[in-house]
Amino acid sequence: MRPSRSAEDSTQNPPPGPPAQRQPSEVRRSAGASRVPKRDSYQPLRAQWDPVAGDDRSREPRRPRPVRDVRKQSRLGKFVATYGWRAYVVPVLVVVTALVLWDAVGSVGGGSVGDDDGSGTVEQSPLGADRIVAEAPLADGEFPPDLASGALPEGGPFTARGAQRWRVLPGTTERVGAEAARTLTYTIEVEDGVDTAGYGGDDAFAVMVDRTLADPRSWIGNPDFGFRRIDVGTPDFRVSLTSQMTIREGCGYQIRLEGSCFNASLGRVLLNEARWVRGAVAFQGDIGSYRQYLINHEVGHALGFAQHERCAAPDGLAPIMMQQTFGTANDDIARLDPGGVVPADGMGCRFNPWPYPRA
């Protein structure tokens, strides 16, 4: 039996015999100093210093790669390279979202012109103040003298909140207005949930709208305007009887009183059912004249008359674009909207439902 050796003995006195019988490390040591010994570790994840040169470190080192004239990638380029097609979609979505939000602010809760927005500038009626000279219709009752101007009077019931959907009432009319006038089409609609039975039903509401717009004292007194009612297709505007809370959402509620408006985003003349039922203090209980005013005033906004008017002639007829729902005296409107378009100058007018009372 061959005596055992320590590890140190094996290293200093290698055993005799041909190199093929020696261990791999011993063969490498006998090759001379010109060879760099390999490590005995063959870990698969350990990379060689020069994978191309292999173990022969005497080989001429590889030539360095030429420096290329490559521009540094910008932040935008990195963003596009990272996100691909999404880099183009994201800005488009941002713009679309902004437009939708802007449109949303301009539809429900904004973008309307009417009795409760308190906006506009003071200037003469675009139709001419000299056209408003006829006597006002006689009132058939009076409200309590202590009832503030603009307050909703006591009266019949109305719908607080509808479904915010409108049904088109069936019916059409012949064209009315001057031959050369542009014909504007309209529909008559009632919000779902609004019960019109207490004031004659849907037909009574439609008849009032049709007859008001066909009256020569209405907007067809201007040779530029003609009207025709339709019940199929897309009209130029929609005359819509609407519940109290839908009005507040569609017209705004900056002045805390019941109003009406034309909402351009919806293409709707929104008539407040609460006012349709109970009227306004300034009209002294003449509900018929008030309903004619309500139609003509808000349709006026739909025709493009965005400005509100002030009383300009003492004890004269109020301009149709004056906010007569809130009052026919400048002081009354100024109290509701201090610093607004109507000055507190002591001027007062009589109520008037028509753009062209003398027509």
In whole angstroms, what is the distance from residue 232 CA to residue 239 CA? 14
User: Does the structure show a pLDDT above 80 at 155?
Assistant: yes
pLDDT digits (tens, 9 = 90+) for 99-150: 545 544 443 444 555 554 433 332 333 333 333 333 344 444 455 566 788 9
What is the percentage of the chain residues whose pLDDT exceeds 70? 59
User: Does the structure show a pLDDT above 70 at 56?
Assistant: no
- Considering the domain architecture, whether residues 130 and 160 belong to the same structural domain is answered as yes
| Of 281 and 85, the one with more pLDDT | 281
Average pLDDT over residues 34-58: 44
| Last residue of one domain, picked from the residues 68, 85, 106 | 106
Confidence of residue 358 (pLDDT cuts 50, 70, 90): confident
Mean pLDDT for all residues in the chain? 76
CA dihedral sign, ordered 51, 53, 57, 60:
negative
| Of 129 and 66, the one with more pLDDT | 66
122: CB partners within 8 A, 6+ apart: 308, 309, 310, 341, 342, 343
- Considering the domain architecture, whether residues 88 and 128 belong to the same structural domain is answered as no
User: Does the structure show a pLDDT above 50 at 44?
Assistant: no
- Considering the domain architecture, whether residues 210 and 185 belong to the same structural domain is answered as yes
125: CB partners within 8 A, 6+ apart: 131, 132, 309, 319, 320, 321
Confidence of residue 281 (pLDDT cuts 50, 70, 90): very high
- Considering the domain architecture, whether residues 209 and 305 belong to the same structural domain is answered as yes
Smallest CA-to-CA distance from 228 within 268, 188, 269 is with: 188
| Of 20 and 80, the one with more pLDDT | 80
Can you name the residues that pair with 188 across neighbouring β-strands?
239
pLDDT digits (tens, 9 = 90+) for 67-78: 555 556 666 666
Does residue 2 belong to any structural domain of this protein? no
* pLDDT computed for residue 105 by the predictor: 40
Helix (H, G, I), strand (E, B) or coil at 261: strand
Under 8 Å between Cβ of 351 and 318: yes
* pLDDT computed for residue 53 by the predictor: 47
First to last CA, the chain: 140
Q: How many CA atoms lie within 13 A of 95 on its CB side?
A: 5
Q: How many domains does the chain have?
A: 2
26: CB partners within 8 A, 6+ apart: 14, 19
In whole angstroms, what is the distance from residue 115 CA to residue 251 CA? 9
Does residue 206 belong to any structural domain of this protein? yes
pLDDT digits (tens, 9 = 90+) for 159-217: 999 999 999 999 999 999 999 899 999 999 999 999 999 999 999 999 999 999 999 99
Enclosing domain of residue 96? 76-106
In whole angstroms, what is the distance from residue 74 CA to residue 216 CA? 68
* pLDDT computed for residue 65 by the predictor: 61
Does residue 344 belong to any structural domain of this protein? no
User: Does the structure show a pLDDT above 60 at 301?
Assistant: yes
| Last residue of one domain, picked from the residues 85, 106, 127 | 106
| Of 59 and 4, the one with more pLDDT | 59
Does residue 34 belong to any structural domain of this protein? no
* pLDDT computed for residue 336 by the predictor: 87
* pLDDT computed for residue 24 by the predictor: 47
* pLDDT computed for residue 1 by the predictor: 44
- Considering the domain architecture, whether residues 102 and 184 belong to the same structural domain is answered as no
User: 343, exposed or middle or buried, with CB in 10 Å at 0-12, 13-18, 19+?
Assistant: middle
pLDDT digits (tens, 9 = 90+) for 329-344: 999 999 988 878 889 9
* pLDDT computed for residue 47 by the predictor: 41
What is the percentage of the chain residues whose pLDDT exceeds 90? 53
pLDDT digits (tens, 9 = 90+) for 212-267: 999 999 999 999 999 999 999 999 999 999 999 999 999 999 889 999 999 999 99
* pLDDT computed for residue 2 by the predictor: 45
| Last residue of one domain, picked from the residues 106, 122, 155 | 106
